[in-house]
Amino acid sequence: MPTPPQRTQRERVEESSRRLAEAAIELIAENGYAFTTAKDIGLRAGYSRALVTQRFGSKDALLDFVLTQYYERRLIETNVSGSSGLQQVLAPIDALRSFAAEEPQTLRAMFVLNFEAVHNTDVLRDRITLWIRRFREQLVTSVIEGQQDGSIRSDVVAEQVSADVIALGIGHAYAWVVMPDDYDFESTLMRYRTEVAQWLEPQRH
């Protein structure tokens, strides 16, 4: 039986980083961010209790890695070249629905992080605030582009649309996190998408 090739140092680092991130996601979904320690993450991943600090420097740095790689890019980097403004507004909802279907535990952990930011006055709140502002600006730009290309009605205010779309999404996310067994999140997101599209599409005469 041939001996499997030895992995490179880079491959070992990538695997351990992935396992630490996945362990952090599991623990955050179970216990919340405040009650998840770097030691717990290292042990859940099958490594030493000190590996999070050795690899990332701190639990907060691992948090930044998890949010960027496993959440934000999946929702905010959704625009496709040539898509209309309305399609750009709806794209994050579509991405969120796919996320819920494919990786519900990861999405739940990300929502828990967002809601914990209310009580966290340090790194977590700053990180989540920055993300929401960036997302809000992206939606404003998409609405304006939609008004210019005719896919979005001209009488809506881009800033208000952005704020309402985010607020409604947060509300649905909160209900799902609090009542996961009583809330069909995927169906809710489909209805949410339909409602947003009907609200923004120009009236046809």
Predicted pLDDT of residue 137: 94
DSSP reduced 3-state for 183 = coil
pTM of the model: 0.79
Count the alpha carbons within 13 Å of 174 in the hemisphere toward its beta carbon. 10
* pLDDT score of 4 more than 60: no
- Of the pLDDT bands very low, low, confident and very high (cuts 50, 70, 90), residue 168 is very high
100-109, 112-121, 187-196: which has the highest mean pLDDT? 187-196
Arithmetic mean of pLDDT, 93-118: 86
Domains detected in the chain: 9-200 (1.10.357.10)
